[in-house]
């Protein structure tokens, strides 16, 4: 996670296999060019990670950080919070929320498998994607 915080990079984390929590990172040169806002930002909860269905209704779910851990992307998340004394606990909380969300989706849909990753090139706030498609939609 500390590598994702290097300035000048936009990180995307992803898995090579569905239902995996073995993350890799992709770094690109990217800056947000849109002033557009989106209602998904209003779905964040004050102190807990929130798993919601994607607005498109295509079976994708998004995990949003709590308001107190707001960030534009995974790189911004790392840059903002790695300087906090409780950085390790923040990372544990993030990965626990990802694991809990995947387990919940698998319990509700036992025949589905999910890609777990961040993209962030369209929405200017951090969200972890859970997609049931044959291939990832983004990345």
137 occurs within a structural domain: no
Q: CA-CA distance, 139 to 136, in Å (whole number)?
A: 7
* pLDDT reported for residue 60: 96
10 occurs within a structural domain: yes
At residue 37, does pLDDT exceed 80?
Answer: no
102 occurs within a structural domain: yes
* pLDDT reported for residue 31: 59
| Tally of structural domains, the chain | 1
38 occurs within a structural domain: no
Mean pLDDT of the chain: 86
* pLDDT reported for residue 35: 43
What is the pTM assigned to this prediction? 0.85
Angle formed by the axes of helices 87-108 and 74-81, to 10°? 150
36 occurs within a structural domain: no
* pLDDT reported for residue 119: 83
* Residues of the domain holding 92: 3-29+49-131
Q: CA-CA distance, 52 to 43, in Å (whole number)?
A: 8
């Amino acid at each position: 996670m500390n590598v994702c915080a290097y300035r000048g990079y936009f990180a995307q984390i992803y898995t090579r296999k569905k239902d995996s929590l073995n993350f890799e990172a992709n770094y690109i040169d990217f800056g947000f060019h849109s002033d557009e806002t989106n209602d998904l930002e209003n779905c964040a909860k004050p102190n807990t990670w929130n798993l919601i269905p994607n607005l498109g209704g295509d079976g994708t779910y998004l995990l949003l950080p709590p308001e107190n851990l707001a960030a534009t992307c995974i790189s911004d998340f790392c840059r903002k919070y790695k300087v906090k004394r409780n950085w390790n606990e923040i990372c544990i909380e993030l990965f626990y929320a990802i694991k809990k969300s995947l387990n919940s989706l698998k319990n509700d849909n036992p025949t589905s498998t999910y890609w777990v990753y961040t993209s962030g090139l369209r929405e200017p706030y951090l969200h972890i994607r859970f997609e049931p498609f044959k291939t990832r939609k983004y990345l």
